[in-house]
Structure 1
Amino acid sequence: MKGLVQQAKNASSIDVFSRTSTSIMNTSTLKASAISLGLCLGMLASSTAYAQEQGVEFGAEARVVFDDNIFREVDGESDTIFEVLPTIGYVGLYGKHKLTAEYDGKYALYTDNSDVNYANHRARGQLDLDLTTRWNARLGVLVIDEVEEPGLNNFQLNGAEEFTEFDSVRLSAETSYGQRQSAGQFVFKYANQSFDYENNNQAFRDRTIDELTGTFFWRVFPRSRVIFEVRSLMSDSDNIVGFNQSFDQLSYLTGLTWEATAKTEGEFRIGYQNTEYDNPLIDDLDGLSFFLDVDYKPDSDSLANLAISRTTRDSAELTLAGLETTDIVLSYKTPLAGRFAMEAEYLYRLDDFDGASNRSDDTNRIKGQLLYDAYNWLEAYVGVEYLTRSSDLEIFEYDNTRFLIGVEILFDN
């Protein structure tokens, strides 16, 4: 099922709807890491893209999950979890301008481990301004109050009684000169994001990040554009008494976007990334950075996606510096007979750690779901997920299997 807000996301490059910037993300989901390839995609939609439905939509998911390793540890503890995921969205058109707003929640109740019960909240808004035939602007806000999914960064809970909680606020402003279909287009973006960690001795990760990006697109073929991009990211730690992880990062990227056929489109960027830490005890990081995102539609109802990225991100372990992360994500969804459909995803992640830790991690995750579209407003599904991590340090290894069954409802006007 695709609602109004999802249609709005697909109609333009809505980076405010992504979790965080690639380099400093907390990896709340593995897939979010790889598909952050759209970072400052720069294709601000023209007013023609606003010819879509508007109004309010309401939806919710309810599901039961069996998880055999809820803390993602060597010796795992299992539990059954009841989850409810409400959502409300709004799309409004005001002349040539568009306002999009959305709230997503997740309430999780653990049968045997009530101490880890949690409620996630995520609210976002975006205002697209069609100023002239050449100038467009975008303002965005993202507010997060969530827990980190364990095992997806380099922090190990190691007996903690609750998941790591954090708050984040992101404000962004973007302007472009030229349209997506123009011969050339300039896009400039500024974003400010703060992180505040509340437990599990993670306060050293509190920080404020300022990000400035300039991108130029040049159309070389009717369906292809060359990309030149410079990005500056400044991360200032709020708690520097114990171990200052503040850094400045510069990225220089070039690449290509293409729509080869009606079935295939994609984007590729490659370049140099340099990260310099204020703390002299942390080695600076520099080297190759790249992003690839390719969609293939064998038919109108099916979609395959390949996303590959290599970048640096900050550590979730005190006294450890940043790490270089390579992600490969392959996903596919297609209808089956009758009202059935299936979705599948495979992710591989390689984390190489800087400094004296002498550690690298390999993470693999396989997900599959079988969906049944009972009505236009009701969908049922069953799924399975398998997640495993191997590491040079045995304490960080784990295996995890999850089985889930649920329903999703969606109403709009």
Structure 2
Amino acid sequence: MFKVIMGYKAKKITSAIACFLLVSTGSTSALAQQFDDAASVQFGGFEVIPTVDIGVKFDDNVSQLASDEISSWSRIVSPQVSMISSLGASQVDFGYRIKNEDFFSSKEDNYTDHFLTAGADVELSARHRVNARLDFEDGHDARGSGFSIGNGDLINEPDQYKQTQLDFLYSYGAFNSQGRIDVNFNVRTLDYDVSTPEYLVRDRRISRIGGTYYHRIGATTDLTFDIIRETVSYKTPAVSTNPLDSRNMSYLVGLSWEATANTSGFAKVGYQEKRFDSALRDDFDGFDWAAGVRWEPVEYASVEIRTSADTNETNGEGNFIRGRTHTAVWRHEWLDRVRSRAAVVWNNNRYEGQLIDGLSIRSDDNLGFRASVYYQFRRWINFEVGYRFDERDSNRNEIDFDRNQFIFNALVTL
């Protein structure tokens, strides 16, 4: 997704760091601060790249409350190390990251997260490719998020969990062939640390197997067909006679294209069905879609627009969440050492089924805005000044909130 402006070796290092940061944080801030020329240390057959993220943040609504908000400054320290070994077109990588945030005025929100990742990208031949990745996260849901939406003040620490994900992708067919296929297997387990009944019902396992067929219909255009099967299993049902276990099937058809050197994109639309094991829960049938376009009018600027619809597991109300998300991202390199990134994300989450106390179906509109400016002061240090805004507007007035955050950050490498 980033323009290649470096040699092959530096490209490999940058790609590995970016992948690790994306997997372990989901943070647009960290991802945008990747280095074009991070230095490495040789260790056996591996290149070792250590970095550390150090910053301060001001948050005017730490626990995402509708009233009686808590504001606080915090300190963030996040060291990490990536190890990459390349053999021709194949690559193996390992990474570890720890992230600690201490809030000066809200100690209940302090946390320390750990992330481990390992991956292999192997090109067996021009027609056979394998990509495998294992990720482990010892993470948390911040107070006021996840299962504590609207009730962040009722718990005295973040909800901590362990999450493991295994992803395996096999690709058959040369990139320039008339047809090729990807087969993907993914399994993800989520296990909250607390063992009370309220927490045990959150633990689950999601297994997914799917395939995508690409059929070339133009020099830079492929017709795509997707079939995905997903099985959701909860370890402990809240009610033994009415579990949330389900089976999902998705069928999509679409296009992926690179119309010019400056424009690329994809669009898929299809049908999804969700079947619950319990006859007491209503099944779902509906449309799914995913589309995105990237436009790079000049070498130093790009715009991305994405939209999607999908079903997600509930976090406390309803049978499942029907989500629709729309995103716009603008990146700009103003000078050799100065770049910026701005993003707007809007989504609607509709909590389908299982109405409580005669209330209407819950519907949340969520708005997020992110903007950061990055300055590469030296080859080995990047500075960031950023602003974030979040807002939730729900038909449950007690969970409405808005929040402003200001970030000052430095990413340091060798």
Shared fold (TM-score greater than 0.5)?
A: yes
For the pair shown, the structure with the greater C-alpha radius of gyration is: 2
Q: Deviations over 1:58-91 (max 9, x none)?
A: 1111111110111111122111110012221122
Q: Write the distance in 2 (CA, Å) between the matches of 1:293 and 1:410.
A: 33
Q: Write the distance in 2 (CA, Å) between the matches of 1:141 and 1:280.
A: 35
Asked whether the equivalents of residues 17 and 142 of structure 1 are also in contact (C-alpha less than 8 Å), the reply is no
User: Could you tell me which residue of structure 2 aligns to residue 308 of structure 1?
Assistant: 307
Report the CA distance between 1:184 and its aligned residue. 0.8
For 1:11-410, what aligned pairs fall within 5 Å after superposition?
A: 18=23, 55-75=47-67, 76-150=69-143, 153=146, 155-156=148-149, 157-158=151-152, 159-199=154-194, 201-242=198-239, 244-317=243-316, 320-337=318-335, 339-355=337-353, 356=355, 357-410=360-413
Q: Deviations over 1:334-366 (max 9, x none)?
A: 122463222111110111111225211111111
Q: Write the distance in 2 (CA, Å) between the matches of 1:221 and 1:337.
A: 37
Q: Write the distance in 2 (CA, Å) between the matches of 1:3 and 1:150.
A: 38
> TM-score when scaled to structure 2?
0.85
Q: Write the distance in 1 (CA, Å) between the matches of 2:299 and 2:225.
A: 32
Bigger mean CA deviation after superposition, 133-142 or 216-225: 133-142
CA gap of 1:114–1:154, structure 2 versus 1, over 3 A, is closer
Q: Write the distance in 2 (CA, Å) between the matches of 1:308 and 1:150.
A: 28
> TM-score when scaled to structure 1?
0.85
Q: Which runs of 5+ in 2 are unaligned?
A: 3-9, 30-45
Q: Which runs of 5+ in 1 are unaligned?
A: 20-27, 33-53
Asked whether the equivalents of residues 16 and 82 of structure 2 are also in contact (C-alpha less than 8 Å), the reply is no
CA gap of 1:241–1:387, structure 2 versus 1, over 3 A, is closer
Q: Write the distance in 2 (CA, Å) between the matches of 1:402 and 1:17.
A: 21
| Aligned residues between the structures | 379
Q: Aligned AA for 1:211?
A: R
Asked whether the equivalents of residues 310 and 324 of structure 1 are also in contact (C-alpha less than 8 Å), the reply is yes
Q: Write the distance in 2 (CA, Å) between the matches of 1:223 and 1:104.
A: 38
User: Could you tell me which residue of structure 1 aligns to residue 43 of structure 2?
Assistant: none
Q: Deviations over 1:79-111 (max 9, x none)?
A: 111001222112211355320222232111111
Q: Aligned AA for 1:204?
A: V
CA gap of 1:381–1:362, structure 2 versus 1, over 3 A, is same
Ranked by relative contact order (alpha carbons within 8 Å, sequence separation 6 or more), the top structure is: 1
Q: Write the distance in 1 (CA, Å) between the matches of 2:349 and 2:205.
A: 24
Report the CA distance between 1:276 and its aligned residue. 1.1
CA gap of 1:29–1:58, structure 2 versus 1, over 3 A, is closer
Report the CA distance between 1:221 and its aligned residue. 0.4
